[in-house]
Amino acid sequence: MKNLAVFVSGNGSNLQAIIDAVKNGNLKVNIALALSDNKDAYALARAKEAGIKGIFIDPKIYKAKKEFEREIISVLEKEKVEAIALAGFMRILSPEFISRYKNRILNVHPALLPSFKGAHGIKDAFDYGVKMTGVTIHFVDENMDHGPIILQEALRVDDGDTLGSLEEKIHKVEHKLYPEAIRLFSEGKLKVEGRRVIIL
Ligand code: GRF
């Protein structure tokens, strides 16, 4: 796999980590584009700064999700995108979209799945009082935060941690783990066997 699209909605620190990994030679992919559903996403500024095509597709102008996704697909095909990394993309993709890119969409989740699914994984884990949490990189399937797990890394929640300090620790791990998972995928080193991902 060479051509990667990164889907974003917000800050884009994971996009930045992927950009940096490409720049320093650790990841040999072409970031064909960063696609955002939010025109104010800081991620788009990061893309611009790095000389990467940033594309905003406004979901509000489409009557149905299908039409919004049709527009996304036409952009992906034009840019010959082979794989997609969701990086803080706050939108659920349809089963049709996902099956079109089966086992070619990756996601980063800021908790140890299957615990703390959803949009607030860090806060939910913190509020629950867990002693360990972490980061999961997984393939995307039709169910939210559910597909086969590629990499996970655990980290300790210390007594002195605040939500803010835990967020920092989680993001630090994300920024290391996500480029690594994309590297393994891009080098053809991931084999999906049911729910299990074998690293070759
Ligand atoms: C990350 O914590 C990621 O795990 C979650 O959304 C956040 C995105 O952050 N899915 P950023 O936009 O990459 O900074």
pLDDT in tens, the chain (200 residues): 799 999 999 999 999 999 999 999 999 999 999 999 999 999 999 999 999 999 999 999 999 999 999 999 999 999 999 999 999 999 999 999 999 999 999 999 999 999 999 999 999 999 999 999 999 999 999 999 999 999 999 999 999 999 999 999 999 999 999 999 999 999 999 999 999 999 99
Assess whether the C-beta atom of 10 lies below 6 angstroms from ligand 1: yes
Is any ligand 1 atom within 6 A of the Cβ of residue 14?
A: yes
Residue 109 annotated to the active site = yes
Structure tokens at 72: 């996304």
Q: Please state whether the predicted TM-score (pTM) of the whole model is above 0.75.
A: yes
Question: Residue 85 — φ and ψ, nearest 5°?
Answer: -110, 115
Atom 2 of ligand 1, residue of closest alpha carbon: 110
* Residue 182 tokens, joined: 């994309």
Which H/E stretch holds residue 150? Answer: strand 149-156
Residue nearest to atom 5 of ligand 1 (CA): 88
Cβ of 108 below 6 Å from ligand 1: yes
Nearest in space to 36 (alpha carbons), one of 68, 81, 3, 79: 68
Q: From the alpha carbon of 87, which atom of ligand 1 is closest?
A: 13
Which string of b and e fits 44-57 if b means at least 16 CB within 10 Å?
bebbeebebebbeb
